Amino acid sequence: MIRFIDLFCGLGGFRIALKKQECVFSCDNDKSVSDVYLNNFNENPFSDIQSIHERNIPKHDILCAGFPCQPFSIAGKRKGFDDSRGTLFFDILRIINYHKPKAFILENVKGLVNHDNGNTFKIITESLSKSLNGVFINSSIENLGYNVFYKVLNSKDYGIPQNRERIFIVGFKNNCSFEFPEKESSSIHLKDILDINLPDNTVSETENFNILKNLEKHKKREDIINNDYSLAYEIRKSKCTFRWDGISPCLTAKMGTGGNNIPVLIKNMRRLSVKECMRIQGFPDSYLIPEGKQNSYKQIGNSVSIPLVKKITDNIIKQL
């Protein structure tokens, strides 16, 4: 059985994707998310990774880390390594350097690639690797000697009804040729996971007005309204994004900062429920999380698309 650690574990998306393997360590410094993790996995994650010496982390085969994305996201201030959350990458480095796991998988926002004109991504990849996507790196930066592969993948290309672009960085201690999963036709749409007649969580009159006003700009207004699975996202007066293709906009941590950021099912003029958002991320209905809580929406937005992570980790395990 493969042993793995779950850094910045959040709701445990990596753990669910690797459920047939053994998780030997988890950590997250968000108390509210740790409580949810405890309820679902009967394990209380360690809190501050910066205060944990690497020798106190169990030996493992795979290191998993969806490290904080806010310092690199276009939705934030993009301070990168000048943000304390951005420097957490170096804790990943010290743990990999000490334990030298057979493989690792890191996940972050697409914006990591071009942050600071690509310099941030260059530091990250060159610190980890002797080769990148099969090409040897001639760098002056001391590296950990891993063979690293990276790719920006969109959840909607892997049977997940969400337009979510994320970069995945996979590394192997030994030489190998790794392939990310091939794109596939979407087999799940919003109609398959939404509770169409859910009565609560309706939008306010002001939000309703803003949606209809923005819809006037679209020639297919009636088609949008009459489509049971059309969504509006960010329903502020000045901004309203629509999708009517059976795919959800990207779920983000900002869903936890106020109702305006939670996707709205236009047919019923209501926000998506916590359970519906969990389904969009690939969590099972048996997962326990408070319904209707702002923190729950934030935690979902910070999570990973489980079905996609499972496809990637399955390929990693085949290599091992």
Active site residues: 69
Distances from the Cα of 189 to the Cα of 229, 231, 276, angstroms: 9, 12, 12
| Closest-CA residue to 272 (of 232, 312, 307, 223) | 232
Q: Residue 182 is which amino acid?
A: E
Lay out the sheet containing 3-7: strands in order across: 22-26, 3-7, 62-65, 103-109, 165-172, 146-154, 129-132, 135-136
Q: Which residue has the tokens 């493969």?
A: 2
Give the C-alpha separation, 269 to 262, whole Å: 12
Q: If you compute the radius of gyration of the chain from its CA atoms, what whole number of angstroms results?
A: 20
- For residue 211, report the phi and psi dihedrals to the nearest 5 degrees: -65, -50
Give the C-alpha separation, 274 to 22, whole Å: 28
Give the C-alpha separation, 8 to 202, whole Å: 33
119-128 helix and 89-99 helix, angle to the nearest 10 degrees: 10
Of the chain, the end-to-end C-alpha distance in Å amounts to: 11
